[in-house]
Amino acid sequence: MSVDLDLIIQNVTQKFSGIYFLLIATENGVVERSYINEDEFNPAKIAINMSMTYESSEDITSEIGIEKPDFSIIHSQNFYILSMKILEHLIIILCDDQINISDIFTTINDCIVSSS
């Protein structure tokens, strides 16, 4: 199994309006692909901060006996920050809260391809 990173960027940005940024990074914060709708965002800084946040959430949930999360959703005023771990990649999306989150997950899931 592998993830087509370019297809994720293409499909998510074409299917949904209200995507402010989408970053695909390694688990240690190296940006592999990015889409940024605003000039003010620094993709490397955001990816490293989100990677550290994701790692902290894994540590906390492990300490209290909950299985490590594969995704998190943060809602703040009219936005969602989605972070998900898929096949050793972190995908971080800042989007308008009017977007159906399950549609985003379905769109990203459709970008996973079989290696055979």
Which structural domain range is residue 29 located in? 17-99
- Is residue 1, in this structure, part of any structural domain at all? no
- Is residue 77, in this structure, part of any structural domain at all? yes
Using 50, 70 and 90 to split pLDDT, how confident is the model at 107?
A: very high
- Is residue 104, in this structure, part of any structural domain at all? no
Give the model confidence (pLDDT) of 72-104 as tens digits.
777 777 788 888 888 888 888 888 888 888 899
> Are 104 and 98 spatial neighbours (Cβ–Cβ below 8 Å)?
no
- Is residue 43, in this structure, part of any structural domain at all? yes
Domains held by the chain: number = 1
The CATH number of the domain where 64 resides is what?
A: 3.30.450.30
Give the model confidence (pLDDT) of 9-68 as tens digits.
999 999 998 888 898 988 777 889 988 876 556 656 666 666 666 667 667 666 766 666
Q: Would you mind telling me the total number of residues written for the chain in this entry?
A: 116
- Is residue 9, in this structure, part of any structural domain at all? no
Tell me if the pTM is above 0.85: no
